[in-house]
Structure 1
Amino acid sequence: MRRLLLILLIGLLMVGGLGWALTRPADLERDLAADHQPDPEAGALVFTAAGCASCHAAPKSEGEDRLVLTGGMGFASDFGTFHAPNISPHPEAGIGSWSFEDFARALTRGVSPEGEHYYPAFPYTAYQHMTAEDLRDLFAYMQSLPPDATPSRAHEVGFPFNIRRGLGLWKRLFMAQDHVVAASGNAQLVRGRYLVEALAHCGECHTPRNALGGLDRSRWLAGAPNLSGKGRIPNITPGELSWSEADLMGYFTTGFTPDYDTAGGEMAEVVDNLAQLPESDRAAIITYLKALPPIP
């Protein structure tokens, strides 16, 4: 009996140790372009392309108030409701005390400065593809924004999803490090892929998810249920989206569809962000969308 209990104890310790190792938050192991001189002006474009204010500005804020990143937007899901945190440069309520390495690890690994996993409502599965130069430029720009002392709201997540350590397994299953679309040799397509798959994180809304919340990459950008419960996010592959390049450029610039309807809901904010980017970036996104395999 003692031998059996010892074997069981050793087995439990081995399983526990393996689980602890598999769920360990990832370290920041990449070139951080330490010799790059951060450019806040370039960082402002990264900030816009990534839609940071769309989630982290106070709801219904307008104009310059959109740059006060108090947080507060809620994201309802089958796992609970997640709230965008304060990411202003306030030293206590925001990220003002973070180092650049803290910032880069959060965006590309989904890990907090304290070593905890972030929930993937924060789209680090997309931001992991950001270049080190863009990360440095973005950090420099965000440090220049107004600090705000508004406390971040706690997520409303019940057991077992409130055990953040388990997100380490989720990341191993669903945080794919490769790109969805091959784009070698075509500079415009490469740029479009970077904007769609990384900065603008379009897949987070336009791609369906499995039962564990991972993106179904086999139906990339083929439409998904709207988490708000109101309708569906549309299929934007050529299997459904038949707009011409001119139609898409007009929509990304003005918000008007070819039928003279207008972008609404969260997409209105996306269009507002895209309209602030160089026309060449909007053209690159269009090239990417036209290159997607058509999915019915």
Structure 2
Amino acid sequence: MWAIPASADEVAIERGEYLLRAAGCISCHTDVKNGGPPLSGGRPLKTPFGTFYSPNITPDQETGIGAWTDEDFVRALRDGVRPDGAHYFPVFPYPSYARMTTSDMHDLKAYLFSIAPVRREVPDHEVPFPFSWRFLQMVWKVLFFSSQEYVADTERGSEWNRGAYVVQALAHCGECHTPRNFLGAPNMDLFLAGTPDGPDGELVPNITPDSQTGIGDWSKGDLVQLLQSGLKPDFDDVQGSMYEAIEHGLKFLTDEDLEAVAGYILSLDPISNRVSREK
């Protein structure tokens, strides 16, 4: 018998589920500690600027994104703007998602709109004045934001560019592993060099290939193993946000993508930055 080819919608949904894993949507948009349904939002994230609650991204018409058009969805990821015109706070990693291709954005939306809607209100952000003023995000964007889609480096191969795309856009590794200035913008001179002020106050390690303060003594296989299992070369395991990122997302990536990620990270210039708590 002839196999029936998958429809374009089915292909988009399958790709979208993969992109959802790569983008870490489940761990951020699911309030696991309080038994929230997957992707229905409400997870609190404590930052130096206040506590933010992730939105419901199921296709519920009233409490989720069910009324969004394709253009609304792309605008949220590319420009950091809600359908009502309000600016998102950059705790939503749209500065990284902006680098995604439009086709990947459409596939991600296709998957999200294929799942069951969940009616669930989420709490308002607990952000003090003046950071609570959304219109100030326009100024932040002028200073720190670019909506430029990822542009391949023609001097590098396809595997390196795939790794760069996953790290910089989909998996948004720099959002957690890069220190920020007093206005919450990443210090790109220290890209992936770690910070003591990560999500929920976690210490986030330096993952540049510095031999003393980073992962310079790791092999490509060591890094792939970590992303698949959460185990470091010394057999210690990751905790906190990184555990969630792996358990709900990164371990589902293909070997090819994980090898591309590892190759890209280990190709970067080493940065000496020892991450520790101030005493």
Q: TM-score under structure 1 normalisation? A: 0.82
Q: In structure 2, what is the Cα distance between the partners aligned to 1:179 and 1:156?
A: 31
Equivalent pair of 1:181/1:193 in contact (CA under 8 Å): no
Q: Tell me whether 112-121 or 258-267 shows the greater mean CA deviation.
A: 258-267
State how 1:261-272 maps to structure 2 within 5 Å: 261-272=236-247
State how 1:132-147 maps to structure 2 within 5 Å: 132-147=102-117
Equivalent pair of 1:50/1:201 in contact (CA under 8 Å): yes
Does residue 167 (structure 1) correspond to residue 142 (structure 2)? The answer is no
Q: In structure 1, what is the Cα distance between the partners aligned to 2:119 and 2:148?
A: 38
State how 1:55-134 maps to structure 2 within 5 Å: 55-60=28-33, 68-134=38-104
Equivalent pair of 2:150/2:169 in contact (CA under 8 Å): no
Structure 1 vs Structure 2: percent identity of aligned residues?
44
1:120-160 deviation digits (Å, cap 9, x = unpaired) = 01000000011111111111100011211110210111211
Does residue 51 (structure 1) correspond to residue 33 (structure 2)? The answer is no
Equivalent pair of 2:17/2:111 in contact (CA under 8 Å): yes
State the shift of 1:189 in Å: 0.8
Distance 1:233 1:181, change over 3 A: farther
Which residue is 2:4 aligned to? none
Does residue 253 (structure 1) correspond to residue 253 (structure 2)? The answer is no
Q: Tell me whether 281-290 or 74-83 shows the greater mean CA deviation.
A: 74-83
Q: In structure 2, what is the Cα distance between the partners aligned to 1:104 and 1:51?
A: 17
Amino acid in structure 1 at the alignment position of 2:50: G
Amino acid in structure 2 at the alignment position of 1:292: L
Does residue 200 (structure 1) correspond to residue 179 (structure 2)? The answer is no
Question: 2:39 aligns to what SS in structure 1?
Answer: coil
Which residue is 1:292 aligned to? 268
Question: 1:42 aligns to what SS in structure 2?
Answer: helix
Q: Which runs of 5+ in 1 are unaligned?
A: 1-35
1:169-214 deviation digits (Å, cap 9, x = unpaired) = 1011111456899732310111001100001000111000001000
1:69-93 deviation digits (Å, cap 9, x = unpaired) = 2111111122211110111100000
Does residue 280 (structure 1) correspond to residue 250 (structure 2)? The answer is no
Distance 1:96 1:265, change over 3 A: same
Equivalent pair of 1:181/1:292 in contact (CA under 8 Å): no
Rg (Cα) greater in structure: 1
Distance 1:138 1:209, change over 3 A: same
Which residue is 1:22 aligned to? none
Amino acid in structure 1 at the alignment position of 2:106: R
